Structure 1
């Protein structure tokens, strides 16, 4: 078994890139003066003492309670407000985040470093500003995911699994090579754990069995590939199913209709 795991610049296992590749981030800039009554879910505040605070509500809909929690303190001024909508398979990362993240940026210099040019793009509008704002918001999302993973902000789910070094190795194996003929034994080997220890720890951390997670990941990729116009037979092989018939049965159980229907709709 040889799976080309991606590594980060320091040579360590890259736990996020295969998921981030599948995120789709749409950003709408909201004028700071209109932010309180808008559906902005990312805000940056400045206090009278010149300190910065970032607040992010990852959920798709910002309810009344969330808007209240995201509001400024008495001594805060809104510098940036944006609506960030995240779709794609990698959105599992986002659903694993807490309902609201509130971060004092003086305590997180790596986040502060990308927030400063974001503030600049709003304060000093220039040509290409909207494109720059979009890309900077994407980087903010990535760094928030790192922050949540490294600080243990998620109690269960995908981010919680990725924060465990051994479970992360198995998850990256699944993400990088969904078509591999994975078995429980092979995934446990990738994690460097016994089969029993791996199964128990994976379920505790991720909230699903290893093979259940693998199946769902394959089917999520399959649906995205069908939407992109790929043929059922090609998608079945890409996602590790023994035959198009086996793929069709699994797909129908998960989504309630055969993959040919999805493929025809995409066409």
Structure 2
């Protein structure tokens, strides 16, 4: 099977869209100066000399990680504060980010271009402002993912793998066609590498074996499809399992409950 890789406008491999399609961004405004400000993990600060700084600390299971850059500097004031949470399978991207990203916007014009209208929606409220704020935050998150990938902000994990041109090709193949009968050899071919070189490089960059990553991706998609009401047999086929029985065994091992049951029933 020839995987229909998506390309960006410049014709190069699109490394993020298949993941972003499965990412859900939820935004809640917080009040600057209010008690809610402590829960904000997305902030924009302005210094006395008008310089802007964006801070984003992805929410982990235990909340916001420790980061000195979260708090404003001595000469900074808070312009925007929000709590951004991520759900969906695309959350793997967020988990691959550093605990805290602090970006002086004067150094990143493409981020600043999105942040400027976002600030306007907060400082100059108009009808539809909440909806616009939500959409702009989604764009900012996507551009932060690009920033982290292109600047090498992650030492290991998914973004680190996507930053490598050959490993990225194999990852996109997995993301775009989870039901394909992938083998280590086929994925190595997609990456244009030898089997051994591919397996070692993938593990070093992503932190998991190629086949382990494939299995996790398939099962994450399967759980999302089941939660959306799709039948077990159809999901097993979609995700590349040889039979519903094989799918059920793998799903139960991973999540601790049968695909025919809801998590609350398995608790």
Tell whether the structures are fold-level matches, with TM greater than 0.5. Answer: yes
TM range (shorter): over 0.9
Looking at secondary structure, tell me which structure has more helix per residue. 1
Aligned to 1:44: 44
Please list every run of 5 or more consecutive structure 1 residues that lacks an aligned counterpart in the other structure: none
The answer to whether the Cα contact below 8 Å between 2:57 and 2:65 also exists between their aligned partners in 1 is no
* Contact 2:30-2:37 at 8 Å conserved across structures: no
The match for 2:178 is: 178
Residue of structure 2 in register with 1:243 after alignment: 243
Partner of residue 200, structure 1: 200
Over residues 56-87 of structure 1, what are the superposed CA-to-partner deviations in whole Å (9 max), with x where a residue is unaligned?
A: 10124544844x54110010010000000101
Counting only pairs closer than 5 Å after superposition, residues 202-217 of structure 1 correspond to structure 2 as: 202-217=202-217
Distance 2:102 2:35 in 1: 17
Distance 1:28 1:102, change over 3 A: same
> Structure 2: which 5+ residue stretches go unaligned?
none
1:77-116 pair list within 5 angstroms: 77-116=77-116
Q: Please tell me the root mean square deviation across aligned C-alpha atoms, in Å.
A: 1.6
2:229 maps to 1:229: yes
- Provide closer, same or farther for how the CA distance between residues 84 and 63 of structure 1 changes in structure 2, counting only shifts above 3 A: closer
Measure the CA separation in 1 of the matches of 2:264 and 2:30. Answer: 38
Worse overlay, 75-84 or 31-40: 31-40
For 2:227 and 2:263, how far apart are their aligned partners in 1? 6
Q: Post-superposition shift, 1:37?
A: 4.3
CA apart distance, 1:35: 6.6
Q: What secondary structure does 2:261 align onto?
A: helix
Deviating more after overlay: 142-151 vs 1-10: 1-10
CA distance in 2, matches of 1:35, 1:75: 21
Contact 1:114 1:136 in 2 (8 A): yes
Aligned length: 264
> TM-score, normalized by length of structure 2?
0.96
- Report the alpha carbon displacement of residue 263 of structure 1 after superposing the two structures with TM: 9.2
For the residue of structure 2 that corresponds to 1:32, the secondary structure is coil
User: Could you tell me how far apart the structure 2 residues matched to 1:206 and 1:258 are?
Assistant: 28
2:142 is matched with: 142
Contact 2:44 2:52 in 1 (8 A): yes
Q: In the TM superposition, what whole-angstrom CA distance separates every residue of 1:218-246 from its partner, at most 9, and x where no partner exists?
A: 00000000000000000000000010011
